[in-house]
Structure 1
Amino acid sequence: MLLSELVKNWPCTVRGSVGIEVEGITEHSCSVKENYVFVARKGAHADGFLHVDEAISRGAVAIILDRNIPAGYVRKKGVTWITVPDGRQFISHASANLAGNPSDSLTVIAVTGTNGKTTVTHFIAQLLRLHGEKAAVIGTTGIFMNDYKIHCSVPEMTTLPADYLHPLLKDCLNAGMSYVVMEASSLGLSSGRLDHCTIDIGVFLNIGIDHYEEHGSKEAYIEAKKKLATLANRLIVNADDLQCVSLVGKTSKQLEFYNMNMIQGKTILPENYPNLPGKHNRSNAFAAVSVLTMLGYDLKETLVLSRQLELPEGRLQRISKDDLTVYVDYAHTPDALQTILLSLIEENEGTTITTVFGCGGNRDRSKRPQMGEVAATCSSKVIITSDNPRNEDPLFIINDILKGTIFHMEKVSIEPDRKKAIQKAIAEATEGEIILIAGKGHEKTQQIGSTQHHFCDIEVAKQCLDDKIFGIRTE
């Protein structure tokens, strides 16, 4: 595409030629290739202008700035410089145009919520597949087409940046997908990653505690979620969550509600409930069924198909040996942890439940004592450990969690090494006990400092169960 077409009707100041061909756009200098446009955006933690020379050396033919060129900098000859009011908005617009606006030719469904996004997106795609449709999923656990995981060079992010998203949507279209179901995170919405993506249906699951510090406040977090109500053409909302209901307000768009027992105003009888563990997963399934009915599929037929739904990896994933059961779940918020534990208590009355969990570093501190209180209140035993400590001291994070357990300290023990914590829980478990390992779910790495180490709760749990059954001593 000619650069002139990319900036056509866009407010900007141009220094240089716009009659040049451009083949891609990015705000990551290491991703620049020949004939690329580089967006040197000033972010919260880094300034893209510091990487302009690298981008030009890699083949950038145009530089997009969201401010004037810094004093004293000598512009490189043969490179076009363009100033725009908002670098994020421009990269969103340009990425969609360069890819040929593929979302216009797809039915895109975006799901937002503090908890359950991954499960619901996979449920929607599974139901579409069961109806004979071709569907892709984009989200926390990766990229899937027709239920098969696709490996491609994209960041491990819940909602992809626009310069990755739109080329991926083009790939989905070329692969014959009719539907794309994606997770819409609060950070993805607030940073404009979906602003130039045509979204047919937006789904609101719940509003809980997460990312407050990254957004600056609870109110800013909620406002970020609310943006999906503006972007999507039609809306589906969990009627049991009053904050979600208030987000959509008095919209003039097509709007459908669901809850734990109802879809489109029709009560669903227990014999038609999906065969899934936990009430929350029934709600997740009903959210997915609501999407299918909004798309025109028969409610009764889709409810029957919903009994074939399978949870994605790391979502209440069950691992058992003899009479000992381990569940691995991604629950990393107070709401999610409480929901999982209450479900396990209800479905396993009188059973001892040991919870192994930690909290991520460089993330919301306010939720740490809340998660400690939930775990200590709803579990028989608790082992507090590390999650992804990142650049924080694991013991500092653990001390924050402990503040919520002061009335239940007799239940609580500490083991900062996550592998040893899981080993301890399984080695000390008695017959019939349930162990919940929460927080990381499907993740295959643990971030300590700036280094990603291979670590998988599921793998460790399976090995520990085998060692326990065969009498192998774990260190």
Structure 2
Amino acid sequence: MRLDLLLPFKVPAYLANLDVQGMSLDSREIKKNGLFVALQGAQLDGRSFIEKAIHQGACVVLSETMHSAEHGDIKMHAQVAEILVFKLPYLISQIAYQFYFPKKNLHKVIGITGTNGKTTIASLLANALQLLDVKNAQMGTIGNGLFGQLKSSLNTTLDAISIFAELASYQQQGAQYTLMEVSSHGLDLGRVQALPFYSAIFTNLTRDHLDHHGTMACYGLAKKRLFSEYSLQQRIINIDDPTGEMWLSEFSDAISYGKATNQKQYFTVKEIFYQKQGICFNFQSSWGDGQISAPFYGHFNVQNLSAVLCQLLAEGFSITQLKKVFLKLNTVPGRMEQYYFSKQDITFVVDYAHTPDALEKALQALHQHSQKGELICLFGCGGDRDTGKRPEMAKVAEKLASQVILVDDNPRTEQASVIMQDILAGFTKKEGVQCIHSREEAIRYALKHASAGDIILVAGKGHEDYQIIGKERIHYSDRELLTALRKEEQA
């Protein structure tokens, strides 16, 4: 694409006809006639890699400047121009959209935001659409790609260029929808600034990421941008959440799910039956009334399923169609995923819960479905992250679990023992808490000492297959370990 058609600001005539054939934030990915975007990151300054990008074949460079007076200034590196751009991070999305979708013909992208439930809702929507013979893709915490072909990702929301590159790839492969988890960081840092979302779903707002946002108010405002700054066809909001209820009063055209409401479009659950094999619930909605059964556990999954149903009903699928589809839905990797040890009659449940609210909901869900035995909670807290939630998670575990085992969960550059002491400070009876740093040792300990009918919640890692100790990422997976232990039991 010609440079003057690509950029949202004027460039000198001698640069206008440059033919840009690719773009990247990573100098290692630059190829001949590529555009290199050099940002001043928190850990690395992209401007340090300009010469390398030019050596790789960059034909032009966009370089971030913090001074508005320098916007549009040009520095020459031999024959290659470096254009200084003010507020470049917030323009990258617009530039990438123009490069990958010059005809503005992007397929339907549904954004899912909130503290908890994003991955589950995105995965269940993708699963349901596939069962309805609608090709789709997914982007988020557990990976990016067409349904069933996800590749792992370091961030919930990718950088702006990668987002549009991925979406273009999905479109070329025939995807009609992409289900995208949208993090508060992604919204706050402009990664989805120009993305024309088709629909948006809000799950809930509870304590998380205060190390970045500072206050809950700022955290909430970052999430709200998805609903207030984009021209959406649908806004689907959880009215059971206080923040969601407040937003619904501002968006009269929004679809609510949860308790009864005056919204024109709504989905209200009336009766819930917690069964050994899953959930069954009756509902009333602006699309009609019905009953849904699905192989999932806990009230929070009733909410997740309600959000999925709202989106699919709004797209014109019938209650009769969806009733059949929901019986076939698969559990989401690392989200209330069960591992049953039949000889000992012990159940392990792996869940990604790593906030006080998510841990509380996971434990409450297991109480609803448990018939005998005790509930044991195994969890830890991440290093270099919000320290305030550590004692709060301890209070939740002490209140809802019969036994608690503390473990490591990505200690990063903090001392694991210090993190554990921070968590212990939240318990009123510390003497009953087991502290075992190794997750593998802790799970083996729980398996050895649990009694028939017990349920052990293994919280925090979920789908993750690594531990971050210091700055090193070491392979480890709760799911892989439990799969191996179950095979040992069955051998």
TM-score above 0.5:
yes
Matched, 1:169 2:170: no
Task: Give yes or no for contact 1:440–1:457 (8 Å, CA) kept in 2.
Answer: yes
CA separation in 2, counterparts of 1:43 and 1:18? Answer: 28
Which residue type is aligned with residue 306 of structure 1?
F
Matched, 1:421 2:439: no
CA separation in 2, counterparts of 1:247 and 1:213? Answer: 24
Alignment of 1:405-416 (within 5 A): 405=427, 407-416=428-437
Q: Which residue of 2 aligns with 1:399?
A: 421
Task: Give yes or no for contact 1:16–1:81 (8 Å, CA) kept in 2.
Answer: no
SS in structure 1 at match of 2:338 = strand
SS in structure 1 at match of 2:82 = strand
Q: Which residue of 2 aligns with 1:305?
A: 325
Task: Give yes or no for contact 1:13–1:83 (8 Å, CA) kept in 2.
Answer: no
CA separation in 2, counterparts of 1:138 and 1:449? Answer: 28
Task: Give yes or no for contact 2:258–2:267 (8 Å, CA) kept in 1.
Answer: no
Summarize the Cα distance change of 1:5–1:211 in structure 2 as closer, same or farther, 3 Å threshold.
same
Q: Which residue of 2 aligns with 1:37?
A: 35
Q: Which residue of 2 aligns with 1:281?
A: 301
Summarize the Cα distance change of 1:217–1:11 in structure 2 as closer, same or farther, 3 Å threshold.
farther
CA deviation after TM superposition for structure 1 residue 246, in Å: 2.1
Alignment of 1:52-63 (within 5 A): 52-63=50-61
Task: Give yes or no for contact 2:408–2:438 (8 Å, CA) kept in 1.
Answer: yes
Which residue type is aligned with residue 424 of structure 2?
L
Larger mean CA deviation between 39-48 and 307-316 belongs to 39-48
Summarize the Cα distance change of 1:248–1:184 in structure 2 as closer, same or farther, 3 Å threshold.
farther
| 1:263-306 per-position Cα deviation (integer Å, ceiling 9, x unaligned) | 82555553523322111111101100000111122234324422
CA separation in 2, counterparts of 1:232 and 1:339? Answer: 33
CA separation in 2, counterparts of 1:103 and 1:451? Answer: 41
Which residue type is aligned with residue 210 of structure 1?
D
Larger mean CA deviation between 218-227 and 303-312 belongs to 303-312
Summarize the Cα distance change of 1:137–1:102 in structure 2 as closer, same or farther, 3 Å threshold.
farther
CA separation in 2, counterparts of 1:310 and 1:261? Answer: 29
Q: Which residue of 1 aligns with 2:198?
A: 200
Q: Which residue of 1 aligns with 2:405?
A: 383
Q: Which residue of 2 aligns with 1:473?
A: none
CA deviation after TM superposition for structure 1 residue 410, in Å: 3.6
CA deviation after TM superposition for structure 1 residue 316, in Å: 0.5
Q: Structure 1 vs Structure 2: percent identity of aligned residues?
A: 32
Matched, 1:104 2:105: yes
| 1:177-233 per-position Cα deviation (integer Å, ceiling 9, x unaligned) | 111111011111111111111111100000011111112322221111011102251
Summarize the Cα distance change of 1:266–1:356 in structure 2 as closer, same or farther, 3 Å threshold.
closer
Alignment of 1:23-102 (within 5 A): 23-67=21-65, 75-100=76-101
SS in structure 2 at match of 1:66 = strand
CA separation in 1, counterparts of 2:200 and 2:251? Answer: 13
CA deviation after TM superposition for structure 1 residue 313, in Å: 0.6
CA separation in 1, counterparts of 2:84 and 2:91? Answer: 10
Q: Which residue of 1 aligns with 2:266?
A: 264
Task: Give yes or no for contact 2:75–2:81 (8 Å, CA) kept in 1.
Answer: no
Q: Which residue of 1 aligns with 2:121?
A: 120
Summarize the Cα distance change of 1:139–1:74 in structure 2 as closer, same or farther, 3 Å threshold.
closer
| 1:390-447 per-position Cα deviation (integer Å, ceiling 9, x unaligned) | 1111111111111111x13243110112211111111211222111110011111111
CA deviation after TM superposition for structure 1 residue 134, in Å: 1.3
Q: Which residue of 1 aligns with 2:337?
A: 317
CA separation in 1, counterparts of 2:362 and 2:184? Answer: 22
Matched, 1:352 2:374: yes
Which residue type is aligned with residue 165 of structure 1?
I
Summarize the Cα distance change of 1:450–1:266 in structure 2 as closer, same or farther, 3 Å threshold.
closer
Task: Give yes or no for contact 2:75–2:83 (8 Å, CA) kept in 1.
Answer: no
Larger mean CA deviation between 289-298 and 100-109 belongs to 100-109
SS in structure 1 at match of 2:16 = coil
Report how many residues are paired. Answer: 461
CA separation in 1, counterparts of 2:165 and 2:474? Answer: 30
1:372 to 384, 394, 409: 394
CA separation in 2, counterparts of 1:288 and 1:40? Answer: 39
2:473 to 452, 461, 469: 452
Q: Which residue of 2 aligns with 1:255?
A: 254
CA separation in 1, counterparts of 2:41 and 2:31? Answer: 22
CA separation in 2, counterparts of 1:425 and 1:232? Answer: 50
CA separation in 2, counterparts of 1:42 and 1:457? Answer: 37
CA separation in 2, counterparts of 1:101 and 1:458? Answer: 43
CA deviation after TM superposition for structure 1 residue 84, in Å: 2.1
- Compute the TM-score of the two structures, normalised by the length of structure 1: 0.91
CA deviation after TM superposition for structure 1 residue 319, in Å: 0.5
- Compute the TM-score of the two structures, normalised by the length of structure 2: 0.88
CA separation in 2, counterparts of 1:364 and 1:274? Answer: 37
SS in structure 2 at match of 1:81 = strand
CA deviation after TM superposition for structure 1 residue 31, in Å: 2.3
CA separation in 2, counterparts of 1:412 and 1:287? Answer: 37
Summarize the Cα distance change of 1:468–1:202 in structure 2 as closer, same or farther, 3 Å threshold.
same
Larger mean CA deviation between 256-265 and 30-39 belongs to 256-265
Higher RCO (CA < 8 A, seq sep 6+):
1
Matched, 1:434 2:455: yes
Matched, 1:332 2:351: no
CA separation in 2, counterparts of 1:381 and 1:138? Answer: 36
CA deviation after TM superposition for structure 1 residue 242, in Å: 1.6
CA deviation after TM superposition for structure 1 residue 12, in Å: 5.8
Which residue type is aligned with residue 246 of structure 1?
M
CA separation in 2, counterparts of 1:352 and 1:261? Answer: 35
CA deviation after TM superposition for structure 1 residue 114, in Å: 0.4
Larger mean CA deviation between 33-42 and 309-318 belongs to 33-42
Q: Which residue of 2 aligns with 1:129?
A: 130
Task: Give yes or no for contact 1:101–1:166 (8 Å, CA) kept in 2.
Answer: no
Q: Which runs of 5+ in 2 are unaligned?
A: 272-280, 283-290
CA separation in 1, counterparts of 2:210 and 2:394? Answer: 18
Larger mean CA deviation between 344-353 and 100-109 belongs to 100-109
CA separation in 1, counterparts of 2:258 and 2:231? Answer: 20
